[in-house]
């Protein structure tokens, strides 16, 4: 499986994502500059954390208007996996690939520490390696991670089983303790915690490795069936 790690001006977790995919997972991966990117030959797209375009206007807002977003939307429409972490999640929200919006943390402070998460949906291509209800530890590092959506959207997320991760101890005020959601098709995941920073015990947790392993396993099974 071959991943494209999309790099925007201001991305600062791209190397972490690349390391997780290539060095730890053993998959093919490239750092792809957003202006010259051609995603046609990639099987998965990874949108890393950071401060794309300095978080001007709103976090992820400017990156969501860049030319590469149409390629990412096409990639998603084909059913290929798209993972947006932290700023990457914010970009997916701003681009309309996922519903909702991000607000400032309820304490109005940047937070950076490990958080316990609950796996609410283990039937996605990203979470099939986990058990339903399993508690995992991923680090968070954000100032605008307070996920918000209206009541109608929240009910749709619940009915469609789109809530994938929730916080065990909600650190930022996110509605319904939401830490990560997928689109209705289940192939686009946005989450604020960083699984790529939890792929080795040396980092304090390797709970994130199962997420990347799940993607590769499901891609291989799908590839074998369709080829």
Q: Give the catalytic positions in this structure.
A: 86, 194, 196
* Cα 97 → chain centroid: 12
Structure tokens at 100: 């909702």
* CA angle at 103 for the pair 102 and 108, rounded to the nearest 5°: 140
Pairing of strands 135-142, 178-182: unpaired
Question: Which residues, 6 or more positions from 184, have their beta carbon under 8 angstroms from its beta carbon?
Answer: 160, 162
Structure tokens at 1: 């499986």
CA quadruple 13, 15, 63, 99: dihedral positive or negative? negative
Enter the DSSP assignment of 92: H
């Amino acid at each position: 499986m071959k991943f494209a790690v999309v790099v925007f001006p201001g991305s600062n977790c791209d190397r972490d994502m690349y390391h997780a995919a290539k060095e730890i997972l053993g998959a093919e991966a490239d750092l792809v500059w957003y202006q010259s990117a051609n995603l046609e030959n990639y099987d998965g797209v990874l949108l890393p954390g950071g401060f794309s375009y300095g978080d001007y206007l709103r976090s992820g807002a400017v990156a969501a208007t860049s030319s590469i977003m149409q390629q990412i939307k096409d990639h998603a429409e084909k059913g290929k996996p798209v993972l947006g972490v932290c700023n990457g999640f914010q970009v997916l929200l701003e681009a309309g690939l996922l519903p909702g919006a991000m607000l400032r943390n309820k304490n109005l402070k940047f937070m950076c520490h490990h958080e316990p998460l609950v796996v609410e949906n283990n039937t996605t291509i990203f979470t099939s390696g986990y058990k339903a209800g399993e508690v995992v530890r991923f680090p968070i590092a954000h100032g605008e991670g307070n996920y918000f959506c209206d009541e109608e959207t929240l009910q749709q997320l619940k009915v469609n089983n789109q809530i994938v991760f929730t916080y065990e101890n909600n650190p930022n005020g996110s509605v319904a303790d939401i830490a990560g959601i997928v689109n209705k098709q289940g192939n686009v995941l946005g989450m604020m915690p960083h699984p790529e920073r939890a792929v080795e015990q040396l980092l304090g947790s390797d709970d994130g490795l199962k997420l990347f392993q799940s993607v590769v396993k499901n891609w291989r099974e799908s590839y074998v069936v369709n080829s």
